[in-house]
Chain A
Amino acid sequence: MATTTKRANMDYAAGKPVDPRAIEAMLTYLKTSYGNPSSLHVAGQEAKRALDEARTRVAELINAEKTEAIVFTSGATESNNLGIKGAANRNKDRGTKIITSSVEHISVVNPVKFLTTKGFEAVFLPVDKFGSLDLGSLEKELNEKTTLVSIVYANGEIGTIEPIREISKIVHTKNAFLHVDATAAAGQVPIDVKALGIDLLTISSNDMYGPKGVGALYVKDGIRLEPILHGGGQEKGLRSGTENIPSIVAFGKAAEIAKQEMQINVKKLTNLRDKLIEGLLKPLPYTFLNGHPTNRLPDNVSIRYSFIEGESMLLNLEMNGVSASSGSACTSKTLEPSHVLLATGLKHEEAHGSIMFSLGRENRLEDVEYVIGLMPSIVNRLRAMSPLTPKELKQ
């Protein structure tokens, strides 16, 4: 089916390969050191040491005040659920109002919506055209009844990095906690939970080249949560169930590597990102960048082409060996275009024409140049076929 043998993966946001060094680190714990960290014998204590070591590495990545502040989970969805539902339910006596934004991941949106069926009130704050939170509306909505504010660190779809320091300052003028979903950001850009004043932080392993199915929630010392899983009381009672040691070890290694190599990777990816953005915007009219032009993740390029639809672009890219993703309804299960794009003020038909390239460690300049070379013919072909294309664009 493919018309080419050249391949370029630009959908790293959907899934990343596990760093070979992280795989190497986990192998021992799959093969020989398979003890249960709750056991007192040697094998158990070996596993316990590995667990503590991984916890330290993850804590260091985000500059947590202490290692114990890291709770391992099954991934970002569970961390968001534990952070949001756990904080809201455990601290109901402090208030029942939850504030979040209109550009959150579905694993934040749905727990918040679920809580509204359990006696909580939820507010979804607006963002500007770049997807940055409207701080004025946060100030307005925040009151004595607010227990929790949950805001994404950086948007996985449009790349915009939120003003977390400012948000944290506002949130802490009242008695509320700040949960930050750093799934797309942790390991990509420096995060300092102490300096930023973050109370709860969601971290994903796969997003920093660790295995899928593991993640963490940072819980600031002194914040009490209600667990979701009840059982043997592992992870300080917040996450019962025997720890997934091999994956946690690999996650710890991935966090260590991410911290060590962050500067180099940020520089490399930012350079590729900016070349890709410029190269895509330049040759075609009616082509726009989604998200913030500068306050954005180094790996995110989200582009909007007028008059055409995202899935047709993706199919054309796939035929040429390029993986990407789209904000169009036609690629979603719900048949609704991305709520993130709509929240930035785009019309439905504009959101349909959006396409996201997410870069990764293995991308090279030639991948970027290849995609830049492909897009004009794909876009022009689809525009020639579209009834929405204005006359002056037709050849």
Chain B
Amino acid sequence: MYSEKVMEHFKNPKNTGEIPDADGVGTVGNPICGDLMTMYIKVKDNRIADIKFKTFGCGAAIATSSMTTDMAKGKTLGEALKITRADVATSLGGLPPVKMHCSNLAADALHAAIRDYYKKQEAATEVKK
């Protein structure tokens, strides 16, 4: 059912875990639907210096989370925001059609984490003012 690349990331997912002092955190999905993921990012010089994820979900959910962190690591925030769900699926050698919508949420989680980072930055700037 899954491509070899998906199975590779499922078997040995990259960047799992939390970043306790993360600069941005994004959560998407819903355990009711069977998929929930949280992305943690550490930002340095406008680049994603570190990224980790936690995921509740199927094989595709775990593999897309892992692939997304791999793709985003080292990128500028602008570049990372351009990573789409389709890019993630393509990098994984495709996903079964039924999984394209329900389990391919990792790019959204990444974007949510970046937006969270921007929001925190704005808040910090406000305080300084």
Contact = CB atoms under 8 A, between A and B. Distances in A.
Interface in A278-331: 307-312, 315, 319, 328-331
Nearest to B54: A387
Contact of A333 (B98, B99, B102): B98
A352 B34 contact: yes
Interface in B107-121: none
B43 interface: no
B54 A330 contact: no
Contacts of B34: 309, 328-330, 337, 348-349, 352
15 contacts: A307-B56, A309-B35, A309-B58, A310-B58, A328-B34, A330-B60, A330-B99, A335-B33, A337-B34, A348-B32, A349-B32, A384-B16, A386-B56, A387-B37, A388-B36
Which residue among A319, A328, A352, A387 has the maximum number of chain B CB atoms within 10 Å of its CB?
A387
A1 interface: yes
Contact of B62 (A312, A319, A387): A312
B59 A311 contact: yes
Interface of A: 1, 307-312, 315, 319, 328-331, 333, 335, 337, 347-349, 352, 384-388
B38 A330 contact: no
Which residue among B33, B56, B59 has the maximum number of chain A CB atoms within 10 Å of its CB?
B56
B58 A385 contact: no
B27 interface: yes
Contacts of A348: 31-34
Given A348-B31, A385-B62, A1 B36 contact: no
Which residue among B4, B34, B35, B62 has the maximum number of chain A CB atoms within 10 Å of its CB?
B34
A310 B99 CA distance: 15
A348 B2 CA distance: 24
Interface residues of B, number: 29
Given A329-B33, A348-B32, A387-B27, A335 B55 contact: no
B13 interface: yes
B58 A312 contact: yes
A315 B13 CA distance: 14
Interface string B57-88: 11111100000000000000000000000000
B59 A386 contact: no
A312 B56 CA distance: 9
B13 A385 contact: yes
B7 interface: yes
Contacts of B57: 309, 312, 330
Nearest to A311: B58
B25 to A, nearest CB: 10
Contacts of B55: 385-387
